């Protein structure tokens, strides 16, 4: 795919066409987009025109114009990923993987999957593998910490309920005593 910047809104049109797996007319595109949020007809038509101008979708005249992507989703994702890695990680997929591992954005399961894929690579990167293992251990440790804090909260909640119950019981007794005092005063 040639170097073409696609806006988020244009990408939603493309995603709709990719998901459909067939050519759609503007009304069909809008109807599918409206399942998530309301789109104005003119907005959809403008975005379609932009995508046509960029050569990302094609059109076919039938009773009305039908549109279909000129690029496969996988190809688009590959190109966007490459651009992202080039822009933010100096072209290094290793730097991207290290950033993900260090950001704690991956779950323990995702880290295990990443490690498994890395071990299947022709050119293993032992340093990165060690980072992934350390991040997985850290994730597991955090899970244990969360579980321990949860138990402490449960214990404190139970303790607080006992304290609150005692305070309420004391207040009820005091109110009953005051009520009895008032009745004695009234009766006298």
- Whole-number pLDDT of residue 109: 82
Strand order in 24-25's β-sheet?
24-25, 65-69, 57-61
pLDDT in tens, 113-143: 777 776 766 666 666 666 667 666 666 665 5
* 8-73 CATH choice from 1.10.760.10, 1.10.10.10, 1.20.140.10, 1.20.1440.120: 1.10.10.10
- 69 or 136, greater pLDDT: 69
pLDDT at residue 57 greater than cutoff 60: yes
Q: Torsion over CA of 8, 10, 12 and 13, rounded to 10 degrees?
A: 180
- Residue 73 pLDDT exceeds 90: yes
Domain boundaries, the chain: 8-73
Instruction: Express each pLDDT in 85-95 by its tens digit.
Output: 899 988 887 78
> What was the pLDDT predicted at 107?
79
In the chain, % helix, strand, coil (3-state, to 5) comes to: 70, 5, 20
174 pLDDT band, cuts 50/70/90, is confident
Mean model confidence pLDDT for the chain: 81
């Amino acid at each position: 795919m040639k170097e073409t910047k696609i806006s988020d809104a244009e990408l939603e049109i493309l995603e709709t066409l990719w998901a459909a797996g067939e050519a759609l007319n503007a009304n069909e595109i809008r109807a599918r987009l409206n399942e998530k949020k309301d789109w104005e007809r003119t907005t959809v038509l403008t975005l379609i025109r932009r995508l046509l101008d960029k050569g990302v979708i094609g059109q076919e005249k039938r009773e009305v114009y039908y549109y279909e992507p000129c690029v496969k989703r996988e190809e688009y994702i590959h190109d966007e990923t490459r651009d992202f890695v080039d822009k933010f990680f100096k072209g290094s997929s290793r730097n991207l993987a290290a950033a993900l591992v260090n950001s704690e954005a991956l779950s323990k399961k995702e880290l295990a999957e990443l490690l498994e894929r890395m071990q299947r690579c022709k050119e293993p990167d032992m340093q990165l593998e060690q980072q992934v293992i350390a991040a997985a251990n850290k994730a597991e440790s955090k899970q244990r910490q969360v579980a321990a804090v949860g138990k402490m909260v449960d214990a404190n909640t139970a303790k607080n309920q006992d304290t609150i119950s005692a305070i309420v019981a004391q207040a009820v007794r005091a109110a009953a005593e005051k009520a009895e005092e008032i009745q004695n005063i009234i009766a006298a």
